[in-house]
Amino acid sequence: GFRAVFTVSQTALTPALPSPRLVPDLLTWKRGQQNYCFTDQVIYNGAVTRSPESMLSVALTRLEELVAMDTQNGTGDEIACVKFLAQSLAKFHPDRVRVETVKRSRGKPGSGYVLAVWGQPRILLNVHIDTVPAAAGWTTGPHTLRDAGDRVIGLGACDIKGAAACILAALEHVGPGNVAVLFSGDEEHGSEVMPEIIRRGHHTDAPMAIVCEPTGCKIGRQHRGIIAYGCEFTGRGGHSSLADVTEAPLFQAARLAAAVGEYGGRHRT
């Protein structure tokens, strides 16, 4: 399942409304047993101008469309999904939009991205549209969104097509402000698209970016990285009866692996 939180800025309001005010406290509602909330809902004359239930309905419809697209990394059609999202974003008349394809190595099918910009972006929203492969054990089709009462189930619904659906629903309900939206592929394995975006200079000067991931609506200010290195261990040989004077390289490697694990545990945040 997923929970969406949207913030509406005053710049997104209809100019004809005289001085609408923003309510900073949470507006919550339930669907089945699941709680949902929005922040900073726009109210005018005491009424919420946008129905949270209708926004949720739009988000679920968009999510159903996205889940139906097979974007399994390495086998799915990520380019078709990027083009679909480009058409969806075009409905909101971005000032600039760029749709690009990216060739991938290791014989994988191509991927791509779409970047849409409105005004002078104060924030960039990024969502990857590829998914992990569908594992065994699905009781229903992984590309058919299923309503399970308190959640919806489908491949990629949580990681992270749900966020893409929520962004589209927010654009439809409140309209774009000074924002940039980047939908990109090839995140789950290989990650060849994002470096290509940077290499081509297809980015914005937004001072802030939110990379959407299933964090339970919590903001994380760090990103997991990876480092790869090689080590060669040498020992001191000798007769098998003289274990006390020989030094096995295997044990040296094991001690290093244990030390690295302990170091990582102490510095994990």
Residue with tokens 């774009």: 176
CA distances from 211 to 111, 136, 160 (A): 18, 29, 10
Domains in the chain: how many in total? 2
Tokens describing residue 222: 């760090």
Whether the pLDDT of residue 140 is over 80: the answer is yes
Claim to verify: residue 62 and residue 167 sit in the same structural domain: yes
> Is residue 40 included in any domain, yes or no?
no
For residue 234, give its domain range: 227-269
Tokens describing residue 1: 């399942």
Whether the pLDDT of residue 3 is over 70: the answer is no
Please compute the mean of the pLDDT values over residues 175-183 and round it to a whole number: 90
Cβ atoms 133, 73 nearer than 8 A: yes
Claim to verify: residue 58 and residue 178 sit in the same structural domain: yes
Residues shown for the chain: 269
Task: Please tell me the distance from the alpha carbon of residue 183 to that of residue 127, in angstroms, as a whole number.
Answer: 5
Q: Note the pTM of the prediction, 2 decimals.
A: 0.72
> Is residue 75 included in any domain, yes or no?
yes
pLDDT digits (tens, 9 = 90+) for 67-123: 999 999 999 999 999 999 999 999 999 999 999 999 999 888 999 999 999 999 999
Q: Which of the following is catalytic: 187, 192, 232, 247?
A: 187
Q: Is 187 a catalytic residue?
A: yes
Closest CA to 50 of 17, 86, 92: 17
CATH code, 181: 3.40.630.10
Claim to verify: residue 249 and residue 200 sit in the same structural domain: no
Whether cis (ω within 30° of 0) applies to the bond prior to 160 is yes
CB-based contacts of 86, cutoff 8 Å, min separation 6: 97, 99, 114, 116
pLDDT value at residue 106: 84
CA dihedral for 196, 199, 202, 205, sign (positive or negative): positive
